[in-house]
Chain A
């Protein structure tokens, strides 16, 4: 009997060693080191006496997703450094990754660890953020991408400890549209859209406005000759069997004469497919979305990327909270027109891609300058896709009109409202 036991134990220990060696890649999360470094930095930079302000962040995806969640995570780190605050976070806050938990519950966990302010980083957490804010009036709540704190919005809820932040990505999309219009040779631009809602209509339309402006004014062409088509896949990323396959959609664009595809989804199919077609000798390009370094995946076909920079926005709100100056607010922040890529001041930016020609790049720079100097493309006359008047001649759209854009604009191809 003894022999068996020893044999068993040895095998087990051996197996454990081997397994753990193999799995250590997964089991050892990267932030281990990072956070240690960080705490060291914190200890070094921080005045020892002052009480550190702790804030919590709930990330819908992995903290290193090269997209939406990573942008938030890095913003949190930015606040930590600049403000000497301490961030607690939980990533993958979604029912698929954390079965049996709810965002409220996780937020409470962060509070019990000392967090005074909680950031909910996804539209999907809207209900949870509201419920949590109402249940915990002593904790500040920031919900990124919602509109419930907007007094002039449609869904205003009077919750003093609740604020919304969002960058004015409409400008990023206009610039992206301009880059596409300056590059296209066929005059056909495709837009790979996620699902249809106010936000996505708004962004697709902004891209169209930017494209149309540069097409008309810089390339001196007739807007009627510009084709701009939106195809919605149904969600922010591919769900086989549920959404359309973005790879397929991108291929269809490239195969039917669309030589630039703007991505409105969270993943990089447009870029990947463009690269595939370019490798076969076609001159096609793509513009990704969300994350500053997205072009790196296929620089040769990347015209640039509009991205979010949450750092300055969080910085301001957390600073207010820390100083006791908090007020419920809705922030829809434009870029810093002095330098849209300034990490300390600009809420959104546009990183030019290697595939953008010098000529086009000059035009895009010029376009940005014009915007900075007050060029407003959301100005009449503009009609909605079905021909109804949206803005009278000379009439500038209000924030509400833009935020709650009911349809795509005239001149764009594609669905305006989801099929019922």
Chain B
């Protein structure tokens, strides 16, 4: 079998397994799987307005995933990505609040705010990096801790210093005036600017990882830090840079959430895109080329699944079941494939 066909065969098998599993769950829940899939499809791609909603959700997910691909390239599990998105949101909100009454032009304020979001994410990631590189704290634990701190910080801000006049509310801070929203296509919630940021970011990450010395060195550090060190790569610096860059894109995701989706800071500003991004990264086996289509698919599942409670009275967490099943079955197939390859390789390179 040629590798390409082989890959395709395994991927198809994985999708099939995931669909079979989800269908089984649906059947047990007393629903027709085909009906459910059909409504999800219609609910995500059935009209221009649905597609634009999917794109709205796609951008921050894509940004978070783009960031994660960098840390994964360096062999790091940046679990702190959620917190980095949150900090991006906080920094963006902070700049918008500071400047919303100023005489600066809205466009300028927005640029500053988004840049601040990127900075916020990068700083938060740098913190996880320092803990890992200099403190010896595993990035998974460090990141998890920082995630909690970030959420607590948001809640404190929303219920404390940044609360709406008179009330503290789960609905977040006072919405920003319309001039400080990223401009949208009339009649939709989609901002072409956000879309632009997302597409440029993933293109940058793709290029960074596939075409530059930086990306290659990062990969080397990720796959074998000792050998990378002996090859002359300053491993600690590269690990730190991976964190910072990853956080930068996560922070951008947070900035987009604030400026293009919610127009304020809300308690769940990350929308869980960090976790979802981790799943996507695993699903695409950390290949940047696949990030855009697969995150789009996941965003479509998120949006399409809203049909389930409305039409079929099913819990919409079923999209999560499908997403999870996909990741698991791809991982599973990856394992099967590896064993299979190993066997062949062993035979082939015998002696």
Q: Is the CB of A113 within 8 A of B311?
A: yes
The total number of A-B Cβ pairs within 8 Å is: 143
B152 interface neighbour in A195, A196, A241, Cβ under 8 Å: A241
Within 8 A of B (CB), among A82-127: 88-91, 94-96, 98-102, 104-106, 108-110, 112-113, 122-127
Within 8 A of B (CB), among A31-74: 31-32, 35
Q: Say if the beta carbon of B307 comes within 8 Å of chain A.
A: yes
Q: Say if the beta carbon of A8 comes within 8 Å of chain B.
A: yes
The stretch from B95-103, B111-119, B164-172, B221-229 touching chain A is: B164-172
B307 interface neighbour in A24, A28, A109, A239, Cβ under 8 Å: A109
Q: Is the CB of B171 within 8 A of A23?
A: no
A32 interface neighbour in B261, B266, B303, B313, Cβ under 8 Å: B313
B171 interface neighbour in A8, A28, A106, A125, Cβ under 8 Å: A125
Q: Is the CB of A1 within 8 A of B310?
A: no
The stretch from B72-80, B203-211, B315-323 touching chain A is: B315-323
Known interface pairs A105-B53, A127-B171, A234-B168; A95-B262 also in contact (CB < 8 Å): yes
CB nearest to B17 among chain A residues: A12
Q: Is the CB of B271 within 8 A of A99?
A: yes
B25 contacts across to A, CB distance below 8 A:
16, 19-20, 23-24, 27
CB nearest to A108 among chain B residues: B49
Q: Is the CB of B315 within 8 A of A24?
A: no
For the complex formed, measure the closest distance between the CB of B32 and the CB atoms of chain A, giving whole angstroms. Answer: 12
Known interface pairs A32-B29, A95-B266, A96-B268; A113-B310 also in contact (CB < 8 Å): yes
B270 contacts across to A, CB distance below 8 A:
99
B30 interface neighbour in A4, A32, A125, A127, Cβ under 8 Å: A32
Complex CA distance for A198 and B61, rounded to whole angstroms: 38
Q: Say if the beta carbon of A235 comes within 8 Å of chain B.
A: yes
Q: Is the CB of A16 within 8 A of B169?
A: no
Greatest chain A CB density within 10 A among B30, B43, B340 is at B30
Q: Is the CB of B21 within 8 A of A106?
A: no
Q: Say if the beta carbon of B156 comes within 8 Å of chain A.
A: yes
Q: Say if the beta carbon of B302 comes within 8 Å of chain A.
A: yes
Q: Say if the beta carbon of A242 comes within 8 Å of chain B.
A: yes
A91 contacts across to B, CB distance below 8 A:
309
Within 8 A of A (CB), among B35-61: 43, 47, 49, 53, 56-57, 60-61
A278 contacts across to B, CB distance below 8 A:
none
Q: Is the CB of A235 within 8 A of B159?
A: yes
Q: Say if the beta carbon of B306 comes within 8 Å of chain A.
A: yes
A139-171 CB contact bits vs B (8 Å, 1 = yes)?
000000000000000000000000000000000
For the complex formed, measure the closest distance between the CB of B58 and the CB atoms of chain A, giving whole angstroms. Answer: 9
Q: Is the CB of A28 within 8 A of B336?
A: no
Known interface pairs A26-B315, A239-B155; A418-B24 also in contact (CB < 8 Å): no
B21 contacts across to A, CB distance below 8 A:
12, 16, 19
Greatest chain B CB density within 10 A among A21, A101, A125 is at A101
A98 contacts across to B, CB distance below 8 A:
306, 316
Q: Say if the beta carbon of A255 comes within 8 Å of chain B.
A: no
Q: Say if the beta carbon of B314 comes within 8 Å of chain A.
A: yes
A29 contacts across to B, CB distance below 8 A:
29, 309, 313-315
- Total interface residues on B, CB under 8 Å, equals 61
B43 contacts across to A, CB distance below 8 A:
109
Complex CA distance for A197 and B168, rounded to whole angstroms: 8
Q: Is the CB of A100 within 8 A of B57?
A: yes
Complex CA distance for A29 and B28, rounded to whole angstroms: 11
B318 contacts across to A, CB distance below 8 A:
27
A375 contacts across to B, CB distance below 8 A:
none
Q: Say if the beta carbon of A389 comes within 8 Å of chain B.
A: no
Known interface pairs A31-B313, A96-B268, A113-B311; A197-B28 also in contact (CB < 8 Å): no
Closest 10 CB pairs of A and B: A99-B271, A124-B171, A96-B268, A100-B57, A197-B167, A95-B268, A20-B28, A27-B29, A242-B155, A99-B272
List chain A positions with a Cβ less than 8 A from chain B: 1, 4, 8, 12-13, 16-17, 19-21, 23-24, 26-29, 31-32, 35, 88-91, 94-96, 98-102, 104-106, 108-110, 112-113, 122-127, 195-198, 234-236, 239, 241-243, 418
Show 18 residue pairs from A and B whose CB-CB distance is below 8 angstroms, ordered by the A residue: A12-B17, A17-B24, A20-B27, A24-B28, A28-B28, A29-B313, A32-B30, A90-B310, A94-B170, A95-B269, A98-B306, A100-B271, A102-B262, A105-B53, A113-B311, A125-B171, A195-B159, A418-B166
Q: A13-B20, A100-B299 are in contact. List 16 more A-B contacts (CB 8 A).
A: A16-B21, A27-B29, A27-B321, A32-B29, A90-B306, A94-B268, A95-B262, A101-B306, A102-B261, A110-B310, A123-B171, A195-B159, A196-B167, A234-B168, A236-B170, A241-B155
